Amino acid sequence: MEVILTNTEELRAILNDCLAKAKPACKADNPTKSEDERPISQPEAIEFLGKSRQTLVAWRKKGVIKAYRLGGRVYYKKSELLNSLL
């Protein structure tokens, strides 16, 4: 084993370099949901679309947008909201 003496800045640069190289490999092994696939709450969807709660409820009932229920709460996926607007 080799011992290398270095200062804090060099050590930080070495660690950042190692993490940058390891990050793509970790993502390939453990894919995560993109931001657009993460469920968002109804208030978040209202803010995201700039529409009222009544509009979201009407669109949901008409089948314009898809909603998911969990524990009495309503969630949406950003990607599906964007696709429904096209």
The string of pLDDT tens digits covering residues 28-49 is: 555 555 666 789 999 999 999 9
Q: Is the pTM of this model over 0.85?
A: no
Joined tokens for residue 77: 């996926």
Q: What length is written for the chain?
A: 86
Read off the pLDDT of each residue in 13-37 and give the average, rounded to a whole number: 67
Q: Between 25 and 39, whose confidence is greater? A: 39
The 10s digit of each residue's pLDDT in 53-76 is 999 999 999 999 999 999 999 999
CA distances from residue 31 to 22, 38, 43 in whole angstroms, order as listed: 14, 13, 27
pLDDT at 28: 56
Q: In this predicted model, which residue has the larger pLDDT, 2 or 27?
A: 2
The angle formed by the CA atoms of residues 45, 50 and 52, to the nearest 5 degrees, is 80
- CA separation for the pair 28, 37 (Å, rounded): 17
Q: Which helix (H) or strand (E) holds 75?
A: strand 73-77
